[in-house]
Amino acid sequence: MQLQLEDTICAPATATGGAIGVVRLSGPGCYEVLGKVVTLRSSRPLEAGSVRFGEIPGVDEVLVSCFRAPHSYTGEDCVEIGCHGSSYIIGRIMTLLCEAGARPAEAGEFTRRAFLNGRMDLAEAEAVADLIAAESEYAHRVALGQLRGGYSAELRGLRDRMLEICSLLELELDFSEEDVEFADRSELRRLMEEALGRCTALADSFRAGNAIREGIPVVIAGEPNSGKSTLLNALLGEDRAIVSDIPGTTRDTVEERIVLDGLEFRFIDTAGIRESSDTVERLGIGRTLESIKKAFLVICLEDPTVHGYDTPVTDAVRAMTDPSCQKLITVYGKADLMSGKDSGALSICAPTGAGLDKLRSAIVAASPTASLHGDTVLVTNARHHAALLAAAASLRQALCSLDSGLTADLLAEDVRSAIGSLSSITGEITSQDILSTIFQRFCIGK
Ligand SMILES: Nc1nc2c(ncn2[C@@H]2O[C@H](COP(=O)(O)OP(=O)(O)OP(=O)(O)O)[C@@H](O)[C@H]2O)c(=O)[nH]1
Ligand SMILES: [Mg+2]
């Protein structure tokens, strides 16, 4: 879809149900459209930054905030009409604006215009969607970091240096008859290794970044009847999962979100792991194993009333996971039935809440942010992750070409392809299709 920048677009910018609503208007015809719809109280000119009272006859009294190109969110002339928040009023204002020459905006069109008008790069524009969707303090902090430039500046720096390499290599091609090397090969290697290191480190941060954005997956695993569902309910503070003393009660995974210490976790209660001849139960156990493999953290709930202080669940989970991907926390349940004995480890009694604070602290301490410093950059976007992996692959290829003494033209090709991948993140090189996919994720009015 090719969007027309000469159109003037409008959309409600606030959700329905609030006392106040805001309708946004942007584009070259913005003030002409406004003049046809709103009668202002004073006739002073609408300068940038001015806020005016006005009336839309028969509809509402409004407050108009004025922005002038290029100093607005979209980089165009822009107006925000503050009105009363009824969906009827907002609907009427939309109709009047469209009758006066504006058209309803597509999802994300305001931000898309901001990108097209150079107000922000693509990574920053995507951060706007993340900021709106952020459900926890940490997800918000990561999105805000990206919105403020995040790693865009660093990527641009890397890209500019690679462009330099490329131009030196291309110069060699022009003088190919004379067998000269403008690009110092050892300096080239150093630069490419540095760029590769940074791309790989950024790509590696995606697992943590994505977990923070989507909610950190924590699986509660254990044998049937060990108290997994009871634990989920206790952490949630509500009767979400069915609890019974019949082993094999939970069949399907049950997932709920909980925010702890500013971080959003997805707690996943699972079917108890055991040998079973019941087809449905076996399917459920299959799902348990799948979710363990996707988890960031696995709470291995041991039942000391059956196995004492042995750790059969932890041992089994450890055998099927990768320590660099999943962290395990061993927890002994049913502490009330083990009076007098102390394992010295994390013991809980979910029905009374005993030990749960310690468990919560252990979960937060094992989360991906625990080892991060305040200024650590995290990649949270799958598109950026894929582009960074592609850039790293091209750089590895370029280093191989360098090792095997390949000619400047082949070397330049690999470097160019790495540049292309990095440029796609910030949007220097991006197809219309990619832009449409990105901005469709936005809400209308943003
Ligand atoms: N005494 C005591 N009983 C508990 C505790 N936690 C759970 N139970 C009981 O243990 C039984 C099984 O609890 P569930 O939470 O359903 O166990 P589960 O691990 O989800 O079991 P499955 O879904 O079958 O895998 C229920 O009767 C619970 O009331 C505890 O800390 N102390
Ligand atoms: Mg259960």
The CATH number of whichever domain residue 98 belongs to comes to 3.30.1360.120
The span from the CA of 314 to the CA of 300, in Å, is 5
Neighbours of ion ligand 2 (CB under 5 A): 228-229, 249-250
222 lines ligand 1 (CB under 6 A): yes
Instruction: Compute CA distances 76 → 13, 80, 159, 236, 403, whole Å.
Output: 17, 13, 29, 47, 51
Domain check: are 356 and 246 in the same one?
yes
**Count of domains forming the chain:** 3
pLDDT at 434: 63
CATH code for the domain of 302: 3.40.50.300
244 lines ligand 1 (CB under 6 A): yes
227 lines ligand 1 (CB under 6 A): yes
The residue behind tokens 């749960």 is 356
**In b/e form, how buried is each residue of 128-143, taking b as 16+ CB within 10 angstroms?**
bbbbeebebebbeebb
Ligand closest to CA 247: 1
Going by C-beta distance under 8 Å and a sequence separation of 6 or more, which residues neighbour residue 204? Answer: none
Q: Is residue 127 in a domain?
A: no
Ligand closest to CA 249: 1
Which backbone phi and psi does 250 adopt, to 5 degrees?
-80, 125
Q: Is residue 3 in a domain?
A: no
User: How far does residue 224's CA lie from ligand 2's centre (Å)?
Assistant: 7
Q: Is residue 63 in a domain?
A: yes
427 lines ligand 1 (CB under 6 A): no
Instruction: State pTM to two decimals.
Output: 0.74
The span from the CA of 369 to the CA of 376, in Å, is 10
Domain check: are 287 and 251 in the same one?
yes
Domain check: are 150 and 186 in the same one?
yes
Domain check: are 329 and 276 in the same one?
yes
pLDDT at 208: 86
Query: Both ends of the chain: CA-CA distance in Å?
Result: 18
Q: Is residue 213 in a domain?
A: no
304 lines ligand 1 (CB under 6 A): no
Q: Which two tokens stand for residue 28?
A: 């070259």
Last residue of a domain, one of 80, 99, 120: 120
| Mean pLDDT, contiguous 10-residue spans, the chain (446 residues) | 76 89 96 96 88 96 96 96 94 95 92 91 86 86 81 82 80 68 78 90 88 92 96 94 93 93 93 90 92 95 93 95 93 88 81 95 87 71 91 94 84 89 81 68 73
pLDDT at 1: 46
Domain check: are 267 and 234 in the same one?
yes
User: Is the backbone of residue 404 left (phi > 0), alpha (psi -120 to 50) or beta?
Assistant: alpha
DSSP assignment letter at 271: P
The span from the CA of 195 to the CA of 156, in Å, is 11
Ligand closest to CA 248: 1
Domain check: are 304 and 242 in the same one?
yes
Q: Is residue 217 in a domain?
A: no
User: How far does residue 277's CA lie from ligand 1's centre (Å)?
Assistant: 22
Pairing of strands 254-260, 216-222: unpaired
pLDDT at 122: 87
Domain check: are 147 and 281 in the same one?
no
Mutate to test the pocket of ligand 1, among 230, 268, 291 (most ligand atoms within 8 A of CB): 230
CATH code for the domain of 191: 1.20.120.430
CA 226 to ligand 1: nearest atom? 19
Q: Is residue 441 in a domain?
A: no
Mutate to test the pocket of ligand 1, among 225, 246, 313, 348 (most ligand atoms within 8 A of CB): 225
By CB atoms closer than 10 A (0-12, 13-18, 19+), residue 433 is exposed
Domain check: are 233 and 337 in the same one?
yes
Judge contact between 234 and 281, C-beta under 8 A. Answer: no
Helix or strand holding residue 416 (H, E):
helix 408-426
Range of the domain at 407: 132-205+378-427
Say whether 362 sits in a helix, a strand or coil: helix
229 lines ligand 1 (CB under 6 A): yes
pLDDT at 287: 94
119 lines ligand 1 (CB under 6 A): no
Domain check: are 266 and 343 in the same one?
yes
Domain check: are 259 and 338 in the same one?
yes
Q: Is residue 278 in a domain?
A: yes
Domain check: are 141 and 181 in the same one?
yes
pLDDT at 283: 93
CA 271 to ligand 1: nearest atom? 25
Q: Is residue 337 in a domain?
A: yes
Domain check: are 233 and 357 in the same one?
yes
